[in-house]
Amino acid sequence: MGNRPAELSALLASLTQQTDPPDRVVVVGQGTRLTALPPGVEGVELPVNLGLPAGRNVALARLRAHGDVDVVMYLDDDGLLPDRWTTQKVRDAFAADADLGIISFRIADEQGVTQRRHVPRLRAHDPLRASRVTTFLGGGNAVRMAVSEQVGDWPAEFFWAHEETDVAWRALDAGWRIDYRPDILLQHPRTSPARHQLYYRMNARNRVWLARRRLPGLLVPIYLAVWVLVTVVRRPPFAGLRAWAGGFVEGWRRPCGGRRPIRWRTVWRMTLLGRPPIV
């Protein structure tokens, strides 16, 4: 969005300094000019901010045009790769496991602390424990291109929030695995998404859309009832709760794209991994 020029420069420098740098780097400008990209970095300028998933789709289409991309890393523009071996670890992981579809990086702040919300599993007390998971982090991840070709692009209509889970559930339903790798680190400033009301609205609307799009009919009311309860227990401020309620209603009133629920076999597989798709 053009509001983090120093952070973006640092991220691109950390990519250049990798022992095995990525073959191509694409930066998408969401309603902003890209005037200071280093040599070899491809910029795509969009006239308006289309949201995170739509922006990722633009970059994905540009990489597809090259025809020889096997894995795509998606990185927040205020992130940083402090380990020079990051891209090599990603390449090695995908080369070693043909069923591995997505890697979720560990996200930690400048002091090395990982927030609980950045561990993509229910048992999040130990962020240094690697595991198979049922979702992943949008700010730092790697996706095998074959996964995108098989299950489709990011859900552009989501704009922001839960688009990763939509992709993850599709990938799991297609038989791919998702790994949380704490040794693959994205350094990211410590923030709280609840600092603005947009978070509450998008969080509610997109959970409804996620359920409508991907869950078997029997699980839709259970999933949404659980998250209503979780939201109330967390006691958001009144303004946030009002925005959340508006988003929840919007999720039912507005179209959410095509419905293609995951199979019950995938539900069972997710349950064995420790996170059935009701929470």
Mean pLDDT confidence for 209-225? 98
Whether residue 221 is contained in a domain is answered as: yes
Per-residue pLDDT, 197: 76
DSSP-derived letter for residue 80 is B
Whether residue 245 is contained in a domain is answered as: yes
Whether 135 and 223 map to the same domain: the answer is: no
DSSP-derived letter for residue 195 is G
Q: Mean pLDDT, the chain, as a whole number?
A: 95
Whether residue 41 is contained in a domain is answered as: yes
Whether 210 and 98 map to the same domain: the answer is: no
Residue where one domain finishes, among candidates 187, 209, 232: 187
Domain with 64, as residue range(s), is 5-187
Per-residue pLDDT, 182: 98
Residue identified by tokens 């791919």 is 176
Residue where one domain finishes, among candidates 163, 187, 211: 187
- Closest C-alpha among 130, 118, 120 to residue 93: 130
pLDDT classification of 195: cutoffs 50, 70, 90: low
Distance between CA atoms of residues 119 and 136, nearest Å: 8
Whether 122 and 18 map to the same domain: the answer is: yes
Whether 175 and 212 map to the same domain: the answer is: no
pTM to 2 decimal places: 0.95
Per-residue pLDDT, 196: 67
Whether residue 51 is contained in a domain is answered as: yes
Whether 50 and 127 map to the same domain: the answer is: yes
Whether 226 and 182 map to the same domain: the answer is: no
Whether residue 83 is contained in a domain is answered as: yes
The CATH number of the domain holding residue 19 is: 3.90.550.60
Whether residue 279 is contained in a domain is answered as: no
Whether 147 and 122 map to the same domain: the answer is: yes
pLDDT classification of 191: cutoffs 50, 70, 90: confident
Name the token pair of 72.
Answer: 């795509």
Whether 160 and 226 map to the same domain: the answer is: no
Per-residue pLDDT, 66: 84
Whether 227 and 264 map to the same domain: the answer is: yes
Q: What is the pLDDT of residues 29-52, one digit of tens each?
A: 999 999 889 999 999 999 999 999
Residue 193 has pLDDT above 80, yes or no: no
Residue where one domain finishes, among candidates 155, 187, 219: 187
Whether 24 and 99 map to the same domain: the answer is: yes
Whether residue 181 is contained in a domain is answered as: yes
Whether residue 22 is contained in a domain is answered as: yes
**Cα four-point dihedral sign 141, 143, 148, 150:** negative
Mean pLDDT confidence for 259-272? 98
Residue 91 has pLDDT above 90, yes or no: yes
Whether 158 and 203 map to the same domain: the answer is: no
pLDDT classification of 83: cutoffs 50, 70, 90: very high
pLDDT classification of 67: cutoffs 50, 70, 90: confident
**Looking at the 3D structure of the chain, how many domains does it have?**
2
pLDDT classification of 194: cutoffs 50, 70, 90: low
Per-residue pLDDT, 154: 98
Q: Strand 100-108 relative to strand 41-46: parallel, antiparallel, unpaired?
A: unpaired
Q: What is the pLDDT of residues 8-35, one digit of tens each?
A: 999 999 999 999 999 999 999 999 999 8
Whether 52 and 93 map to the same domain: the answer is: yes
Per-residue pLDDT, 153: 97
